[in-house]
Structure 1
Amino acid sequence: MSDRLNIEISIVADLVADLPYAIRAQRLVNSIREFFSCDAVGLLKIDGDSLTPIAMQGLTLEALGRRFLISQHARLASILSTRSPVRFLPGNPLPDPYDGLLEHHADQALPVHDCMGISLHLEGQLWGALTLDAFNGKTFQQSDPDRLASFAILIQAAMRVSQLEQDNRHLRLLRGNENPVASTDHEHIEIIGHSPVLQNLLKELDVVAESDLPVLLLGETGVGKELFAQRVHRTSQRCHHPLIKVNCAALPESLAESELFGHVKGAFSGATTDRMGRIEAAQHGTLFLDEVGELPLSIQAKLLRTLQNGEIQRLGEDKPRQVNTRIISATNRQLQEQVRQGSFRADLYHRLSVYPVHVPALRERGSDVLILAGRFLELNRARLGMRSLRLSESAERALCEYSWPGNVRELEHVISRAALRTVSLGANRNEIITIGPELLALESTSNDHDNFLSSTCFHVSDSQSIRQVESTYPSRTQAEQKHTQSLREATEFFQRKQIRERLEQHNGNWAATARSLELDTSNLHKLAKKLGLK
């Protein structure tokens, strides 16, 4: 009883302390795990049709990045269906969402043997769930569900306090807005990670969101600049107005002016009606210009006028129109270098980069790679109808050591390919499947994105059993390396390697790949055909 009293006092003390949301939640699950002496505790929040981990203790890091689709996890659905605690006794046939993810057994693909959970409610509405898991089948006692029900009241109070604090903070952020958005609205943006560099960036963006300053997001391909632009919009006073997105690289130069500024009927052949441009469509909201470095010079001059005077002029119209639109732009190019080369206007660059923000590459974010990997593992597990999909410890090390030239997008592709390979190799979808470093194919990914490994293996485990399956894939890289004696052959091998890597970085977009290689798109297609890539 004294242990329980001490933990209850600790939880109550946290209620009156000025603690960040994440820290209060983490201290909460730590206390619950200590009291029940179990292997893992998870605090999850309803997010649409899924449960999102808020805080976890005793689970592998990748579990924190997962989003558990309720309809695909019978145990979670059962917990959410009632206000009473739910106990899953040892031997229960329903798969546990944390099978193979217990931290102290991370080197083994073993199922959870003892589990219980309870739904959590705030102001009468279902908020989420608390889950407790144990490897030992005799961990929880008969009286533990009742004890959990008592703790649920304190847990709900702690979450309510955190909710009120978030709401108040957001109201202050949106001061002067007549219809402030609830704090939960912008939490749906999937920016996953807990690294200090990411958290510092999010804090910086929340501050700059209060202003109307133009923001320039700088970063490599695949870092997710669009997500950060969405966050700035959602946490700004413009959040109730449109966020219009424009991919400048996909705008044909002949249509770019009409797309951005609009046109009137008869302005050109085919203009049968008046049409509003993207800038005007973002009135009182935000315009996101992705790959802004691709804008033609003729359009840059017109965009500068919009930034300077708040005016646009539809194509074919004499009278300018006033607009009130915030500009957020993004690029993976060195705009300063383009200014020196004369391909980007210096005055426009200075207007767009009033507040430049560097979005860190994945290799700069430490263990965030594992949290993101967990997210992609769960997506692929659900997509492929698997019971459980996890990483081995050596695979986790490989992910952390890789340089990720394609960043988050490349990580998503690596995990998806590895999951597909397990299925193609005959994995039993009803077992716990462990992905080893060989299936990730990181070395071959960096050398040749189209090649599989010459030898791959994975582990599938049900209870204590582990079986290994091996398969041989054709490796074009190895074949090519045998024939790189002449200068011509060595050059062609290097060209193939570069084109494949750039295609991967640009998500298969040939036009973007051509620009990154400083080639004409048609010439790149011809070269790829000559090299046997098409």
Structure 2
Amino acid sequence: MPEPGQHLLLEIALDLASSLTNDDRFDRLLTALRKAIPCDAIALLAYRTPHAIPLAIQGLSPDTRGRRFAVGEHPRFAAMAEAQKPVRFPADSPLPDPYDGLLLNDDSAIPIHACMGLPLFVDSQLLGFLTFDSLTPGVFDHIGERTLDMVSALAAATLKAAIQLDALERQAQHNTQVMQTLTLDAMAQGGNSLLGDSLPMLALKQELALVAPSDFTVLVLGETGVGKELVARTLHAQSARKGAPLVHLNCAALPEQLIESELFGHTKGAFTGADSARPGKFLLADGGTLFLDEVGELSPGTQSKLLRALQSGEIQPVGQDKVRQVDVRVIAATNRDLKTEVAAGRFRADLYHRLSVYPILVPPLRERGGDILLLAGFFLENTRRKLGLAQLKLAQATQDLLMRYDWPGNVRELEHCISRAALNAIREQGRHGVLTLAPGHCALEPVGPAPLPTAPPPGTAQADLRLAVEDYQRQLIREALLANDHSWAGAARALNLDRANLQRLGKRLGVVVSKGL
């Protein structure tokens, strides 16, 4: 195969100079390089210790964008980093390829035949990787070292420029940050801890970047499973308090008699079982951030004491007369409509206004479009690593299913879906090679009641099977509720389901919580 000439690489460089955004620049780079070096797949990845993170891909499954490849767990990435020069892996290389089974035009799930990787260094610092893969053996063997060095330099310069532009754009947006060293660390720190590039997620990230540097109290709103805790962590990480503690308290996880002690601490002997003094969450978070999850579950008595802490920055441990001053930023979260709770008298209006200085609504997954496959890739790689598998991939039909489903349990439901599907695939396909997740492995329940007009006539085998399945589901739900003191949350944990999904299924099946279950 003839080598690409210097004039072609010069054309690539000039084309990149006219690109307006990083995504556009990366895509143009890959498109041009594929013309210069024909291949079935190409990827540009940033190295953010300890992961190789895809920034742009061509010829690979869309979920690849969401994967985070731990370099220490993927021998080919580790070999590239150690060699510090282009590496051609032989067709019979024993090192597993992280892209096995992920090529779009490879339906056989056989190992990739040709693989070449270029580590991207600038001033002895590893910025990322450029990988080429082909199903044709030996296709990269005749490319000269000088050509590869030029391609590496061009890709590294493109990545470095992207890092610098990213840092400059952040500085212009906030207008309060001091110019920092333009390195990959800067890109990683300012990078998006919330995965997704849909329009709703881009708007959310802009809101977080706006309010994070302030000390305003933030109320994070959204459905169950959308990632409100991750939003709180992102706010803390982008704030001036990022070097101080981020303390988390789930207000619904503790009985009312203990929540005050958890918030404000207690002295020794303050109540039965208080064998020693204990600092509360406010004191532990002094100088940092306190994240109050499910704040809508607080009792009226605790609400009034929380209001005092927010108003004056003063706390009073249980059993102590002395008042202590603390410097804490509060981020609260709830899936309740607090305005409705205020109107019903279940939540204090003054506390609501204190908490909602800057409300942020986290979009549900069904409104995030292409983020679904991005997140699926992230969970696929995590699950593959946890289960010690060679590779996990989604069948095309499964990708279509995930995109059609409306995800009432949001991101958390998607994560559980991938984990469940992986276990079902292991049971069917074993633990070796590339495991393909089929739609049946996901076991996604239809949302809402089954449409009665299309139900099979009574007496048919299909109708009898449906009724038997529904009876069995009712029995399992009732047993789980009885075993967990009629708690839907406890029953959902026992059945490994999302609570909202379980309640929805129970309602459809006519299961109610009562002592007569």
TM range (shorter): 0.7 to 0.9
2:424 is the alignment partner of 1:421: yes
2:121 partner amino acid = H
How many Å separate the matches in 1 of 2:179 and 2:89?
A: 48
**Counterparts in 2 of 1:239 and 1:171: CA distance versus 1, 3 Å:** farther
* 2:324 matched residue in structure 1: 321
Count of aligned positions? 486
Identity in percent: 42
* 1:333 matched residue in structure 2: 336
**Counterparts in 2 of 1:513 and 1:123: CA distance versus 1, 3 Å:** same
Q: How do 1:270-349 residues align onto structure 2 when only pairs under 5 Å count?
A: 270-349=273-352
Q: How do 1:40-119 residues align onto structure 2 when only pairs under 5 Å count?
A: 40-105=41-106, 107-119=107-119
Shift of 1:227: 0.5
Per-residue displacement from partner, 1:154-185 (whole Å, max 9, x unpaired)?
Answer: 22223223333444555674947899996356
How many Å separate the matches in 1 of 2:164 and 2:208?
A: 22
* 2:11 matched residue in structure 1: 6
Shift of 1:28: 3.0
**Counterparts in 2 of 1:401 and 1:56: CA distance versus 1, 3 Å:** same
2:89 partner amino acid = F
Shift of 1:55: 2.0
Contact 2:296 2:338 in 1 (8 A): yes
* 1:140 matched residue in structure 2: 140
Per-residue displacement from partner, 1:270-307 (whole Å, max 9, x unpaired)?
Answer: 44544322112222211111111111111110111122
* 1:366 matched residue in structure 2: 369
**Counterparts in 2 of 1:199 and 1:314: CA distance versus 1, 3 Å:** same
How many Å separate the matches in 2 of 1:25 and 1:95?
A: 26
Contact 2:127 2:160 in 1 (8 A): no
How many Å separate the matches in 1 of 2:153 and 2:167?
A: 21
TM-score (norm 2): 0.83
How many Å separate the matches in 2 of 1:69 and 1:316?
A: 49
Counterpart secondary structure, 2:186: coil
2:198 is the alignment partner of 1:195: yes
* 1:433 matched residue in structure 2: 435
2:481 is the alignment partner of 1:481: no
Contact 2:426 2:435 in 1 (8 A): no
How many Å separate the matches in 2 of 1:344 and 1:58?
A: 53
2:411 partner amino acid = V
Contact 2:180 2:186 in 1 (8 A): no
Match for residue 239 of structure 1 among 236, 242, 249: 242
Shift of 1:403: 1.3
1:481 partner amino acid = L
Q: Point out the more displaced range, 240-249 or 96-105.
A: 96-105
* 2:507 matched residue in structure 1: none
* 1:151 matched residue in structure 2: 151
**Counterparts in 2 of 1:201 and 1:306: CA distance versus 1, 3 Å:** same
Per-residue displacement from partner, 1:418-467 (whole Å, max 9, x unpaired)?
Answer: 11112212x2433222221122222379899xxxxxxxxxxxxxxxxxxx
Shift of 1:26: 3.6
* 1:125 matched residue in structure 2: 125
* 1:376 matched residue in structure 2: 379
- Gap runs ≥5 in structure 2: 451-462, 505-510
How many Å separate the matches in 1 of 2:476 and 2:433?
A: 42
**Counterparts in 2 of 1:204 and 1:505: CA distance versus 1, 3 Å:** farther
How many Å separate the matches in 1 of 2:437 and 2:42?
A: 24
**Counterparts in 2 of 1:176 and 1:6: CA distance versus 1, 3 Å:** closer
TM-score (norm 1): 0.80
Q: How do 1:159-170 residues align onto structure 2 when only pairs under 5 Å count?
A: 159-168=159-168
* 1:462 matched residue in structure 2: none
* 1:466 matched residue in structure 2: none
Per-residue displacement from partner, 1:310-348 (whole Å, max 9, x unpaired)?
Answer: 222222333332222111111111111211221111111
How many Å separate the matches in 2 of 1:348 and 1:164?
A: 43
Contact 1:406 1:504 in 2 (8 A): no
Match for residue 409 of structure 2 among 406, 409, 420: 406
Contact 1:53 1:67 in 2 (8 A): yes
2:31 partner amino acid = N
Counterpart secondary structure, 1:221: coil
**Counterparts in 2 of 1:84 and 1:400: CA distance versus 1, 3 Å:** same
1:441 partner amino acid = A
Contact 1:503 1:509 in 2 (8 A): no
Per-residue displacement from partner, 1:8-60 (whole Å, max 9, x unpaired)?
Answer: 2223x26xx7x544444343333323321222221222333332212222211
**Counterparts in 2 of 1:176 and 1:263: CA distance versus 1, 3 Å:** farther
Contact 2:171 2:179 in 1 (8 A): no
How many Å separate the matches in 2 of 1:261 and 1:218?
A: 25
Counterpart secondary structure, 1:250: coil
**Counterparts in 2 of 1:478 and 1:151: CA distance versus 1, 3 Å:** farther
* 1:453 matched residue in structure 2: none
Contact 2:394 2:437 in 1 (8 A): yes
How many Å separate the matches in 1 of 2:265 and 2:294?
A: 20
How many Å separate the matches in 2 of 1:490 and 1:508?
A: 16
Contact 2:373 2:399 in 1 (8 A): yes
How many Å separate the matches in 2 of 1:498 and 1:332?
A: 24
**Counterparts in 2 of 1:74 and 1:256: CA distance versus 1, 3 Å:** same
Shift of 1:61: 0.8
Q: RMSD in angstroms over aligned alpha carbons?
A: 3.8
How many Å separate the matches in 2 of 1:276 and 1:346?
A: 28
* 2:265 matched residue in structure 1: 262
Q: Point out the more displaced range, 164-173 or 152-161.
A: 164-173
Contact 1:116 1:145 in 2 (8 A): no
Contact 1:222 1:505 in 2 (8 A): no
1:52 partner amino acid = I
Shift of 1:137: 2.8
Contact 1:189 1:227 in 2 (8 A): no
Q: Point out the more displaced range, 413-422 or 115-124.
A: 115-124
2:139 partner amino acid = T
Shift of 1:527: 5.8
- Gap runs ≥5 in structure 1: 449-476, 519-524
Contact 1:446 1:501 in 2 (8 A): no
**Counterparts in 2 of 1:378 and 1:179: CA distance versus 1, 3 Å:** closer
**Counterparts in 2 of 1:268 and 1:503: CA distance versus 1, 3 Å:** closer
How many Å separate the matches in 2 of 1:428 and 1:140?
A: 33
Contact 2:45 2:128 in 1 (8 A): yes
